[in-house]
Chain A
Amino acid sequence: MTDTLIQAPKALILTGFGINCEEEMAAAYRLAGGEATIVHLNEVLHGRVSIHDFDILNFPGGFSFGDDLGSGVVLANKLRYRQTGADGRTLLADIREFVAAGKFVLGICNGFQVLVKLGLLPNLGGDFQPEVTLTHNASGRYEDRWVRLRVNPGTKVPTPFLSGLTFFDVPVRHGEGRLVVPDAATRERISALGLNCLSYADGDDQETGTYPLNPNGADLNCAGLTDPTGHIFGLMPHPEAYLAGCNHPDWGLKKRRGELKEEGEGLAIFKNIVTHLTRRTQEASAPATHA
């Protein structure tokens, strides 16, 4: 039977300790046709929930531990050092295996900061050591504003999260979203692989460093990073806050022109990964005629 019911891809969404965008992230996966489970981080750390039972591991936005020592720092630290069992294992070790098994990791805003501080992004060296950082916006301020993003067409291994996307609008809501790449060599390697998969764009859809179109002054005008495999993806803006067309600040005009869509542009990212995983499962379960 080829048309057995394919199980919807399973997204694990972490919460607790000041994470606060878990509900809209779960809604995004459900609207995209996936299955979403919100789990308190301690349930994972205490071994009651295993990340390996899921296909996508998600770090939502928020203020984990109040961003007290720098955004995402304390949470990243917990994943790197806190032993989850008597064998001295950490969640970072589990995440390595998770990614090695071909699964996906997504971090948004504070979640992106966690992935960067944890060394999961950009992971040029493949050893999960921090290579870049995200720090205070050049404006010195937290800001909530909508930006336009451009998908880097030159990414060597495009992340499936961004399949088929070229430009889209999303809100940014952060005070520490400025990507700092410490040196020219690292910058070149990121650019060469196109790991800077999302950049802030202006009205002409060109990448821009001009405030407020680029809201934080990020190096490479970068809004989001992927790892060299395309399996780990993180971004500062919030696609999960644009699930409905009427989330957009100018939806009134779209409606006046009869162009308002029920779905928001941010949903595409979640549909992409759900579609990708569904297709992969279908292909894997299909008769191996062309193997």
Chain B
Amino acid sequence: METNQHSILLSLQPGRHDGDGQRVAADAARHLGLATGQVRSAALYAVRYPGLTEKQLADFAAACLQDPVLHTVAIDQVAAPEGFNSYILVAKGPGVTDDEGTSAQNALGDFLNEPIDTRTQHIFSKRLYFVENELPAADLRRLAEELLGNKLINRFEVGAVADGIRDFTPRPGGGADARTETVALGGLSDEQLLQLSKDNVYALNLPEMQAIRDYFGQDSVREQRQGLGLPADPTDCEMEILAQTWSEHCKHKEFSAVIKYKNHETGAEEEIDGLFKTFIKGATSEVDRQLRANGNDWLIKVFSDNAGAVRINPESLFVWKVETHNSPSAIDPYGGAITGILGNNRDPLATGIGGARLLFNTNVLCFGNPDYDGELLTGQLHPRRIFEGVRKGIEDGGNKSGVPTVNGAIVFDDRYRGKPLVYCGTGAVMPMQLAGKDSWEKVILPGDRIIMAGGRVGKDGIHGATFSSIELDEAAPATAVQIGSPITQKLAMDFLLLATRRGLIRCSTDNGAGGLSSSIGELATISGGAVVELEKVPLKYPGLRPWEIFLSESQERFTLAVEPGKLDELLALGREMEVELTDIGYFTGEGSLDVKFDNQPIAGLSLEFLHDGVPRKTLLAEYVKPAAQEPALPAELDYNDALLKLLGSLNICSRESVIRQYDHEVKGRTVVKPLMGATGQAPQDAAVVRFNFESWEGVAVSNGILPRLGDLDAYHMSAGSFDEAVRQIISVGGKLPNLTPGDGNFWSVNDNFCVPDSVYDPTTNPDGKQKLAKLVQMCQALRDACAAYCIPLTSGKDSMKNDFKADGVKISVPPTVLYSMTAKVEDVRQVVTSDFKQSDDVIYLLGETHDELGGSEFYQLYNELGANVPKVDFAKAKELYTLVGAANDQQLIQSSHDLSDGGLAVALAECTFGREGLGARIELAENGLSPVAQLFSESHSRFVVTVAPEDVTAFESILQGRATRLGVVTSDGQLHVQHGGRELLSAATHALRTAWTNGPVNQTIGLEASEIAKS
């Protein structure tokens, strides 16, 4: 051991409960089939702080690290407890964020009363596990890699205790590396250009590479570059800036492409002038026109900033953003999810001037079956690991930031086993005015300083933007992994809140994909240029080349534009709040992005070429309707058995074990939580959150996602997903927008498309035209839905390459779209929850059921898809939602649950889950529709509601023919369903809830045994 490095080992005292160790032993047996015997966990720290005496070290360990009730401490002595024969050391790789080490440094600084530069690492945290059984190294390594860490970010040492315990402490970085190289493009053949793009992960295609080559070949450009002292060919930094700016992730080239679309079903042929322009922006412009014509002018900012903004009231704005973080979550589920959330949080935080207050998070996740037992490809993680890692990332990302995770959804389909989908959404509130300025506007003047705020820069996350724009394969770069630090971001967030209110910031943006290159490149378009002095950027460790500094996606950073006159006050506030701020250059009006390192120019790109030089793509889409037929099912059906199976099925069963590990009520404003009722087990439709403690205004939040229906019809899948999110908000008591002039009832929707590679290639993607045709149809449905309900889109994202390729196999996600909706709630005390409240309340079905079992969970029980896809009748749906709003105005509805997966039968069962002993007696209509269709069809735009007996007349006079009386709530704890005098279903609601609670999700994540038994 080096003389200036010491170790501190914290072990639990004998007899203390070691939950971590127990869990490792249990998981090893359960998931890996390894018998470990007992496992003991311990914390190990390496301290490399110069000048620390032995006494200071020992005192620090005893006073700051040790919990005297729990731990024993050993200094410079790492020994296994008696009877433990193997060990696993889990350390972090060089340069990997180590929050625990940083906190220990904070503690050391306090203890010594010395200012310690906590941004340089002196203390390194590790975990040490002692295993009772003597296991072969290969098993220990498996345990380490599968359960304890990720080899992309951790370093493991394993072995027999008898052979000595090997330690590892990272030693990041090398010497400074200021090299900037030139990338020769002139005279390269097409093949060479493509090879160059592939070798450097530029993710640029041939026309794009050609456009760059041709640009640098122009005489005028050559002359200009000579004047600036730049080589004729682009520098590595310039190529990286172009690749990042032109990436699919940043430029949305496929959503902007010209599409030649042919529908072989209808014979229609058309040329679409960009999906985004035609369907998304087009729909919102039309909606905005209708809104304004009716005196509703709450749509403030759409598609032009980090998040969309709508007006809540004259004082405040609601800011809303949903994004995906799929590729990073596939290779490092925990890191991918946590950086997904923290990154998405930065979008509303850095909208307009910046400094919005975060109100809530929501997450929608798509995974493969956690019990998948097929082969795994090289580099592919098991779906259960992805699920558990992502779940943990969301827990830490939300909980540690103090942002409640108020709802979400988890969808399982084995086609997500290659690339999971991780959708992160964040709602926030911003004052309309910040220090006298319109908060949503981004203003920058030439001469304003460029300030980087937050974390330092390392090699983490280099190439994230380009990496997410290509298919994932076994050679995924390790540097694409990012590690989040919620505490760093929390400090930056607190700082931003104060600084914006004091008027110290002109505007802000987030450093996400593409790092400084992206954030400064975009902000520069406001003033008309920027000069960046890269040597000033603070680094986590030396050894980064200039282009790496510019492109790094190290997390928890904001770029701020600051008036020179306010700089001193801003820097002082940063020091006070312990947020590192660095002046790294200034904005100009010169029309170019100029990057220097130690005064040497390393990039000089015209903003025009950078942002508008990318060639537009033309893509081909051809739709052939897939063959589908209704299945022949057995004549006799055991309805009880079918309902029990549905409740215990992967896509319907309880998510309680996941939900409870998310803090869904920090901030004290959550009114409708994911699970409610006396049991805390009644699932709800939309979340409802108050804005503040001074008024009862709030917002309802919902998600619509139905990927399986896309196997039958992409248009109706998209329309149905949209309707699902709308009806969830209607169900809790929200109202459609624009029903009355100037009602101010805002809606704000984000669309997030996640599709497989949809660019046709005869060899690598032969069905690309069909995939793109599906995307076209999804967009057509979106436009129709927005127009029908008069609901605007305010922001969104498209993720176009959700394929995992390895060993010659490609796993592609089904075309998926998520609609994340928010709508104003005038008074949160008037909203409606889903669970039945008391016996004798009358149960109604609202809306119409059709023979639409295609894609249903019921057919899934038979491994059938069927043909009759549920279709939305927008006009009828809108009429019903308006009537429901009228009934809610009079507070006539006691409970309301929207019908979705599993249809009426599942909805009725879920409505009884809120309290022990409730049941329902139901008589299905004799209307020509089969009982199977009535109970299990997943027709859209329907609700199960209850009404107090005394309100029945008033309720029926409003709903008229749209409400069908089904029966009454009972107190016998039984769900009875009859049809034509025949009893179809008779089950104890307690047994139904048990089947739902003991489903595969809670089994995977693990509720306590006592809880499962109890329910």
A interface residue numbers (CB < 8 A to B): 15-18, 20-21, 23-24, 27, 30-31, 40, 42-43, 46, 61-63, 65-70, 73-74, 77-78, 80-83, 117, 130, 132-133, 135-146, 171, 173, 178, 180, 182, 210-212, 238, 240-247, 249-253, 255-257, 260, 262
Contacts and interface: CB of A to CB of B under 8 A. Distances in A.
Given A69-B104, A252-B895, 10 more contacts: A21-B402, A30-B693, A40-B576, A42-B578, A65-B106, A77-B64, A81-B64, A144-B664, A210-B1010, A249-B678
A24 B663 CA distance: 15
B24 to A, nearest CB: 10
A140 B487 contact: no
Given A24-B667, A253-B678, A211 B1008 contact: yes
A252 B69 contact: no
Contacts of B693: 24, 27, 30-31, 243-244
Contacts of B1010: 210-212
A144 B838 CA distance: 26
B828 A81 contact: no
Interface residues on B, range: 35 or more
Nearest to B673: A249
A272 to B, nearest CB: 18
B894 interface: yes
A279 B673 CA distance: 38
Nearest to B405: A144
B23 interface: yes
A136 B19 contact: yes
B837 A143 contact: no
Contact of B1008 (A61, A117, A139): A139
Given A17-B487, A252-B837, A73 B67 contact: yes
Contacts of B895: 252
25 contacts: A27-B693, A30-B693, A31-B693, A62-B402, A63-B399, A66-B99, A66-B103, A68-B99, A68-B102, A73-B107, A74-B107, A77-B110, A130-B69, A133-B68, A136-B17, A138-B17, A173-B399, A173-B666, A180-B16, A211-B1011, A246-B828, A249-B680, A253-B677, A253-B678, A257-B838
A45 to B, nearest CB: 10
Interface of B: 16-17, 19-20, 22-23, 63-65, 67-70, 99-100, 102-104, 106-107, 110-111, 113, 125, 395, 399-402, 485-487, 490-491, 494, 576-578, 659-671, 673, 675-678, 680, 690, 693, 828-829, 832-833, 835, 837-838, 894-895, 914-915, 948, 1008, 1010-1011
Nearest to B65: A69
Nearest to A133: B69
B865 to A, nearest CB: 37
Contact of B668 (A78, A212, A243): A243
B399 A142 contact: yes
Nearest to B834: A252
Contact of B667 (A23, A138, A140): A23
B70 A180 contact: yes
Contacts of B659: 144
Contacts of A27: 668, 693
Contacts of A68: 99-100, 102-104, 125, 487
A130 B19 contact: no
A36 to B, nearest CB: 11
Contacts of A142: 395, 399, 661, 663
Contacts of A180: 16, 69-70
Contact of B23 (A30, A81, A140): A140
Contact of B677 (A137, A241, A249): A249
A270 B1011 CA distance: 33
A124 B829 CA distance: 45
B664 A212 contact: no
Q: Which among B16, B490, B668, B914 has the greatest number of chain A C-beta atoms within 10 A?
A: B668
Contacts of A17: 487, 490-491, 578
Nearest to B659: A144
Nearest to A132: B69
Contacts of B829: 245-246, 255, 260, 262
A23 B110 CA distance: 27
Contact of B838 (A63, A65, A212, A256): A256
A145 B660 contact: yes
B676 A250 contact: yes
B402 A144 contact: no
B665 A252 contact: no
Q: Which among A40, A140, A182 has the greatest number of chain B C-beta atoms within 10 A?
A: A140
Nearest to A19: B402
A138 B19 contact: yes
Contact of A212 (B22, B106, B670, B1008): B1008
A262 to B, nearest CB: 8
Given A73-B107, A135-B70, A256-B837, A18 B487 contact: yes
Contacts of A24: 667-669, 693
B310 to A, nearest CB: 22
A113 B223 CA distance: 66
B107 A18 contact: no
Contacts of B401: 20
Contacts of A244: 671, 690, 693
Nearest to B98: A68
A137 B667 CA distance: 23
B19 A253 contact: no
Contacts of B400: 18, 63, 66-67
B108 to A, nearest CB: 9
Contact of A140 (B22, B70, B673): B22
A212 B661 contact: no
Contacts of B914: 250, 252-253
A242 B668 CA distance: 7
B487 A65 contact: yes
Given A31-B693, A42-B576, A74-B106, A69 B100 contact: yes
Nearest to A79: B110
A251 B668 CA distance: 15
A135 B1011 CA distance: 21
A238 B490 CA distance: 21
Contacts of A260: 829
A243 B693 CA distance: 9
